Amino acid sequence: MNKKWLIGLFILAAVIFFAAQPKQITLKVGIFAGSNWDVPNGDCYHIIDEAIKVFEAQHPEIQIEYESGILKEDYSTWLATKILQGEEPDVFMVLDEDFNTLSALGALADLNNYMQKDTLFEAEDYYESALKAGQYQEHQYALPYESNPTLMFVNKSLLLKEGIAVPAGKWNLDDFYEICQKVTRDTNGDGLVDQYGCYNYSWLDSVYGHGVNLFDEDGNTCNLYQGQLKEAITFVQRLNQLNQGHIVTSEEFDMGKVAFSPMSYAQYRTYKPYPWRVKKYSTFEWDCVRMPSLDDCAHSSEVSSLLIGISSRTKYKDQAWNFLKLLTNDVDIQQQQLYYSQGIPALKTVMQSEEVISYFNQELAADSMIDLTQLNEVMENTVRKSKFKKYESALNMIDVRIREMLQNSDDLDLSLISLQKEVNKFLKEP
């Protein structure tokens, strides 16, 4: 065999060898620094870095990259800019408030087919409320990474001083008002109220507690002139009237002069255990219970979810799906939410595992009113937010006007009729 044939065979063998090698793929991921829940988080990249190690070991032909240092407050703008430039990541985190818009604009890939075809994926493993946070018009456009329900902060020291038992388990709005009424008083005899029932309990908290739906299912109309909504707003007015015109401040809350305040579970996770409890609420004993509702069992807690989706324009949909599934549906990765984040893992199977129950009892619930059974109940009975493109804008319009009604003691019937016309006009605009 002459030299030319040998060279030719060598070249052919080299071509065949390199052609047989898997093509190197780079998946880009969009994440932000810090906690999604606005509480301290000193190791915000740990979970994503661990997931990348696992994934790249399983898929050596894939390299995953992300841009570090993007703050949460800048993330929505950063992502929108990337989308407009056609340079969005293949997989990216989706803030709760951005989900409707990104879904309506077609920026997120429809995950329905992947979920149905993947025999290793079980949608039932998620909390239903968390899974539905990523649904838009009956399609799944994102999966939940972690969730954060609202609980009710209770100043145990204040209630003990007043001879009032801390609410346990299910309690209703009448119980809530009655306790607020009892504790709101002048404690030093100067004629001015200086101890209060609640801080930062909003009209929307009352709406959730009363089981009111502001919009129809498709977001085409709102129904503000309804008896239940008026009752919800009136309930907040009654609470405010207990304070005799005084607006309770965050400083008064921090000083232990307030019995109740809505608090996210992430805040509870952060400030309840040592050492943060020493830095935050060290002058009184406190805990959290579930939010009160009208009939003891209504879906009274709001839940926020950090979602993760896939770009509708990614060239690597299958690879992106596998990485998304690892982040949101892998037990080991999800379990790390308890150690390196402050939210609740989106998987029920994680929260109900023996290891998590043991960790929770040792680290978080030794002197707590909240246990895993209650947390599971809260997550199973959360308020479902409306899913349509104009939801955030419409809700903001309503919020501004109802706050004005509460502040100015406006006639509710006339004001709600006028606001309903205004919002419905906005919803019908193209």
In the predicted model, what is the mean pLDDT of residues 206-224? 89
Q: How confident is the model at residue 44 (pLDDT cuts 50, 70, 90)?
A: confident
Q: Which of 257, 288, 284 is nearest to 270 (CA)?
A: 288
Q: How confident is the model at residue 385 (pLDDT cuts 50, 70, 90)?
A: confident
pLDDT at residue 225, rounded to an integer: 85
Average pLDDT taken over every residue of the chain: 88
Q: How far, in Å, CA of 195 to CA of 75, rounded?
A: 40
pLDDT at residue 377, rounded to an integer: 80
Instruction: Dump pLDDT digits (tens) for 9-33.
Output: 555 554 454 444 556 899 999 999 9
The answer to whether residue 66 scores a pLDDT higher than 90 is yes
**More confident of the two residues 177 and 7:** 177
pLDDT at residue 283, rounded to an integer: 81
Q: Where in the chain is the domain with CATH 3.40.190.10?
A: 21-148+303-383, 150-302+386-428
Q: How far, in Å, CA of 136 to CA of 143, rounded?
A: 12
In three state form, how does the secondary structure of the chain look? CCHHHHHHHHHHHHHHHHHHCCCCEEEEEECCECCCCCCCCCCCCHHHHHHHHHHHHHCCCEEEEECCCCEHHHHHHHHHHHHHCCCCCCEEEECHHHHHHHHHCCCECCCHHHHHHCCCCCHHHECHHHHHCCEECCEECCEEEEEEEEEEEEEHHHHHHCCCCCCCCCCEHHHHHHHHHHHCECCCCCCCCCEEEECCCCHHHHHHHHCCCCECCCCCCECCCCHHHHHHHHHHHHHHHCCCCCCCCHHHHHCCCEEEEEEEHHHHHHHCCCCHHHHHCCCCCEEEECCCECCCCCCCEEEEEEEEEEECCCCCHHHHHHHHHHHHHCHHHHHCHHHHCCCEECEHHHHCCHHHHHHHHHHCCCCCCCCHHHHHHHHHCEECCCCCCCHHHHHHHHHHHHHHHHHHCCCHHHHHHHHHHHHHHHHHCC
- Any idea which of 322-336, 366-380, 414-428 has the lowest mean pLDDT? 366-380
**Residue 243 neighbours by CB distance under 10 Å:** 16
Instruction: Dump pLDDT digits (tens) for 84-112.
Output: 999 999 999 999 999 999 999 999 999 99
Q: Could you give phi then psi for residue 306, rounded to 5 degrees?
A: -90, 120
pLDDT at residue 275, rounded to an integer: 46
In the predicted model, what is the mean pLDDT of residues 224-250? 93
Cα 117-120-122 angle, rounded to 5 deg: 85
Long-range (24+ apart) CB contacts under 8 A made by 246-254 are 246/192, 246/193, 246/196, 248/196, 248/198, 248/199, 248/200, 249/199, 250/199, 250/200, 252/196, 252/199, 253/199, 253/200, 254/280, 254/281
Q: Which residues pair with 303 in a beta bridge?
A: 149
Residue keyed to tokens 């988080």: 41
Give the distance between the most distant pair of CA atoms in the chain. Answer: 111
pLDDT at residue 8, rounded to an integer: 56
- Any idea which of 56-60, 230-234, 288-292, 297-301 has the lowest mean pLDDT? 297-301
In the predicted model, what is the mean pLDDT of residues 168-187? 92
pLDDT at residue 278, rounded to an integer: 43
Q: How confident is the model at residue 234 (pLDDT cuts 50, 70, 90)?
A: very high
CATH number of 150-302+386-428: 3.40.190.10
Report CA-CA distances (Å) from 331 to 125, 344, 356, 411.
10, 13, 11, 53
CATH number of 21-148+303-383: 3.40.190.10
Q: How far, in Å, CA of 159 to CA of 208, rounded?
A: 25
Instruction: Dump pLDDT digits (tens) for 109-140.
Output: 999 999 999 999 999 999 988 999 999 989 99
pLDDT at residue 109, rounded to an integer: 98
With contact defined as beta carbons under 8 Å apart, do 316 and 183 qualify?
Answer: no
Q: Which of 178, 380, 208 is nearest to 294 (CA)?
A: 208
Q: How far, in Å, CA of 294 to CA of 330, rounded?
A: 37
The answer to whether residue 183 scores a pLDDT higher than 60 is yes
**Residue 79 neighbours by CB distance under 10 Å:** 22
State the Rg of the chain over Cα.
26
Q: How confident is the model at residue 6 (pLDDT cuts 50, 70, 90)?
A: low
- Any idea which of 89-103, 134-148, 373-387 has the lowest mean pLDDT? 373-387
**pTM for this model (two decimals):** 0.87
- Any idea which of 76-85, 234-243, 355-364 has the lowest mean pLDDT? 355-364
pLDDT at residue 373, rounded to an integer: 73
In the predicted model, what is the mean pLDDT of residues 3-12? 56
Q: How far, in Å, CA of 155 to CA of 196, rounded?
A: 11
Instruction: Please name the amino acid found at residue 136.
Output: Y
Instruction: Dump pLDDT digits (tens) for 311-334.
Output: 999 999 999 999 999 999 999 999
